[in-house]
Amino acid sequence: MELERAKKYLEKGVDGYANGNGGMFENFMMQGLGLHLDSIERGRVLCSMKVPVRLLNPGNTFHGGATTSLVDLVGSAVILTYGLTSTGVSVEITLSLLDAAFANEEIEIEGRALRIGKTVAVVNVEFRKKSSAKIFAQARHTKYLHLPPPAPVQTKM
């Protein structure tokens, strides 16, 4: 069940609907992104896509902001593979841009859990050029996992 939840999250967005009625993230990133889920297992998600022209920066390369948004998306999906009901709240995203990706270039995005604890999750996300397997971006995503409130204490009166 947890893998289905992560798959739905990647395919249909945060709210589970691919109808364009979501927030800024769903409308900007998910609509027509062409993100394909290639492989999913506990603690690992592998996606691929062609870099869309609309996500290029003024230098005609894949925009760092779009890359960071994909780190958040794929990293959150990795957390869902553990059966959690929430992806948590981002505490830190560290991104290293090592090379450029260009319009219509096929890329792979792989997220791997480094640690999923009781209150903190840490995920590594790598971006590779599909043709050469060369890493062009690497990120670490840390999230705070909100614990459900404790059950109310029963008192005798």
Q: Note the pLDDT tens digit of each residue in 23-67.
A: 545 555 556 678 889 999 999 999 999 999 989 999 999 999 999
CATH number of 2-144: 3.10.129.10
Domain positions in the chain are 2-144
Higher pLDDT among residues 78 and 30, named by residue: 78
* pLDDT beyond 50 at 128: yes
Of 36, 34, 104, 116, residue with least CA distance to 75: 116
- Determine which of 25-29, 106-110, 151-155 has the lowest per-residue pLDDT on average: 25-29
* pLDDT beyond 70 at 17: no
pLDDT at 29: 53
pLDDT at 135: 97
Of 82, 77, 60, 80, residue with least CA distance to 125: 77
pLDDT at 124: 98
* Strand boundaries in the chain, DSSP class E: 36-41, 44-50, 89-97, 106-116, 120-129, 135-144
Name the percent of the chain lying above pLDDT 90. 62
Q: Which two tokens stand for residue 114?
A: 């480094």
89-120: buried (b, 16+ CB within 10 Å) or exposed (e) per residue?
Answer: eeeebebebeeebeeebebbbbbebeebeeee
- CA–CA dist 55, 58 (Å, integer): 10
**Mean pLDDT in the chain?**
85
